[in-house]
Amino acid sequence: MPSTLVRAYVGLGANLGDGAATLRQVLTELQSTEGITAVTASPFYRSAPVEASGPDFVNAVAALDTQLAPLALLDALQALENQHGRQRPYKNAPRTLDLDLLLYGDTELNHERLVLPHPRMHLRAFVLLPLRDLAPGLTLQGEPIDDWIGAIRDQPIERISSS
């Protein structure tokens, strides 16, 4: 485990069951996960599935401080998905819970299990808008987050709560 805390950002989504309740519960579970502290959530958003069918998603982003290394954090996130009944019958299937590690400090990683920063986050309104709520001055690939948001304004998304 790294001896210092690293700020990580995790995308949260659910489109099966009560998505908002699931996200609220997993935020509490993240806070009690060993090696994770100071979990802060963005407001919740509703968005249509991307490159898939199914019910609308409830999405958010969590900022957390962690001592876990990137792959250990990924393992913790996947364990939470499994506890919430996550199934992977096919690519982009509807899901009870989806947790994506978006950023881990300024770490760049290209591992068979994990790519950091998340390779498609700058293309998704359901990631960028809640991420901006938590880190308005963030830059992605050298560009301000507001520039990326300007490029995806055609993606329907609605803020539904303050989490």
Q: Which pTM does this prediction carry?
A: 0.93
Whole-angstrom distance, CA of residue 13 vs CA of residue 77: 12
Domain borders along the chain are: 6-159
Question: Looking at domain 6-159, does it have CATH number 3.30.470.10?
Answer: no
Band of residue 3 on the pLDDT scale cut at 50, 70, 90: low
Host H or E run for residue 107: none
Q: What angle do CA 61, 66, 67 make, to 5 degrees?
A: 160
Alpha helices in 61-116 (DSSP H): 70-83
Residue 51 pLDDT: 78
* Active-site residue (options: 95, 124, 132, 133): 95
pLDDT in tens, 53-101: 789 999 999 999 999 999 999 999 999 999 998 877 667 667 889 999 9
Residue 52, burial from CB neighbour count under 10 angstroms (0-12, 13-18, 19+): middle
Can 100 be counted among the known catalytic residues? Answer: yes
Q: Clarify whether 75 is annotated catalytic.
A: no
Least confident residue range of 10-14, 23-27, 82-86, 108-112: 82-86
Can 46 be counted among the known catalytic residues?
A: no
* List 56, 65, 75, 86, catalytic entry: 86
